[in-house]
Amino acid sequence: MRSKTHALLLSAAAMAAASLLAATPVAHAQGAASSAARQSDFIVAVVNSEPITNQEVQRRIVRVTQQIQQQGGRVPPQAELARQVLESLIVERAQLQLARELGIRADEASIDQGEQNVARQNQVDVAELRRRLARDGMTPAQFRNEIRDQILLTRVRDRELESRVKVSDADVEQYLREHATAPSAAPSELNLAQVLVAVPENATPQQVAERQARAQDVLRRARAGEDFAALARAYSDAPEASAGGALGLRTADRYPDLFLEATAAVPTGGISEPVRSGAGFHVLKVIEKRQAGPAQTIAQQHARHILLRVGPQLTEAAARERLATMKRRIEAGQADFAALARASSQDGSAAEGGDLGWSSPGQFVPEFEDVLDSLQPGQLSDPLVSRFGVHLIQLIERRQYKLSPREQREMARSMVRESRMDEAYRSWLQEVRARAYVEMRDAPQ
Give the pLDDT of residue 260: 87
- Please report, to the nearest 10 degrees, the dihedral formed by the alpha carbons of residues 360, 362, 368, 369 taken in order: 60
Give the pLDDT of residue 289: 80
Fold of 11-162: Triger factor/SurA peptide-binding fold (1.10.4030)
Give the pLDDT of residue 294: 36
Give the pLDDT of residue 332: 94
Give the neighbor-by-neighbor strand order of the sheet with 275-276. 246-251, 187-198, 280-291, 275-276
In CATH terms, are 185-291 and 297-402 the same topology?
yes
Q: Three-state DSSP class for 352? A: helix
* CATH number for the domain running over 297-402: 3.10.50.40
Instruction: Report which DSSP code applies to 255.
Output: S
Beta pairing partners, 192: 248, 286
- pLDDT tens per residue across span 2-56: 333 233 223 333 334 433 343 333 333 344 444 444 446 899 999 999 999 998 8
Give the pLDDT of residue 185: 46
* Residue 123 one-letter amino acid: Q
User: Domain-by-domain residue ranges, the chain?
Assistant: 11-162, 185-291, 297-402
Instruction: Give the span between the Cα atoms of 388 and 369, in whole angstroms.
Output: 13
- pLDDT tens per residue across span 152-177: 998 898 888 888 888 888 888 888 87
Give the pLDDT of residue 333: 94
Which of 173-208 are b and which e, b meaning 16 or more Cβ less than 10 Å from the residue's Cβ?
Answer: eebeeebeeeeeeebebbbbbbbbbebeeeeeeeee
- pLDDT tens per residue across span 359-374: 888 788 888 888 898 8
Domain range 185-291, CATH class: alpha beta
Q: What is the mean pLDDT of each run of 10 residues along the chain (445 residues)?
A: 33 39 36 48 91 90 76 74 90 93 88 80 78 86 91 89 85 79 57 89 88 92 88 86 81 81 87 89 88 61 93 86 95 95 93 92 83 90 87 93 79 81 85 92 84
